[in-house]
Chains A and B, each alone.
Chain A
Amino acid sequence: MKPAGADQALEPGLTRALELALGAGVALSGALLFAGLALDQLALMRVGLLLLLFTPVARVVVLTVGLFHQKDWGFAVVSLWILLVLLSSISLGSLLG
Chain B
Amino acid sequence: MNEAIPHIPALLLAAIGAATGLVGAMLGLGGGVFLVPLLTLALGVPIRIAIAASLVSVIATASASATVNLSRGFVNVRLGLALEVATSLGGLAGGLAAAALSTRQLFLLFAVTLGAMGLVMAARAGKRNVIADLSVEPGRLGGYLTEAGTTYVYRLKRMPLAMAVSLAAGAVSGLLGLGGGILKVPALSSFCGIPIRIASATSTFMIGVTAAASAFIYWSRGDIAVPLASAVALGALPGSLAGARLAEHVQARSLKMVMALVLLLVGARMAMTQP
Contact = CB atoms under 8 A, between A and B. Distances in A.
A37 B10 contact: yes
B62 A56 contact: yes
A8 B143 contact: yes
B59 A53 contact: yes
A65 interface: no
A53 B219 contact: yes
A29 B208 CA distance: 15
Contacts of B78: 8, 75
Interface in A1-59: 1-3, 6, 8-10, 15, 18-19, 22-23, 25-26, 29-30, 33-34, 36-37, 42, 45-46, 48-50, 52-57, 59
Contacts of A23: 67
Interface of B: 10, 56, 59-60, 62-64, 66-67, 70-71, 73, 76-78, 81-82, 84-85, 88, 91, 134, 138, 140-144, 146, 151, 208-209, 211-217, 219-222, 224, 226-227, 229-231, 233-234, 237
Contacts, number: 146
Contacts of B140: 8
Given A49-B233, A52-B60, A52-B63, A79 B219 contact: no
> Which DSSP category, helix, strand, loop or mixed, fits chain B's interface?
helix
Interface of A: 1-3, 6, 8-10, 15, 18-19, 22-23, 25-26, 29-30, 33-34, 36-37, 42, 45-46, 48-50, 52-57, 59-60, 63, 75, 78-79, 81-82, 85-86, 89-90, 92-94, 96-97
Contacts of A9: 73, 143-144
A89 B217 contact: yes
Nearest to B62: A56
B209 A56 contact: yes
B209 A82 contact: yes
A95 to B, nearest CB: 8
A97 B63 contact: no
Given A15-B70, A19-B71, A89-B217, A82 B230 contact: no
A94 to B, nearest CB: 6
Contacts of B141: 8
Contacts of B71: 15, 19
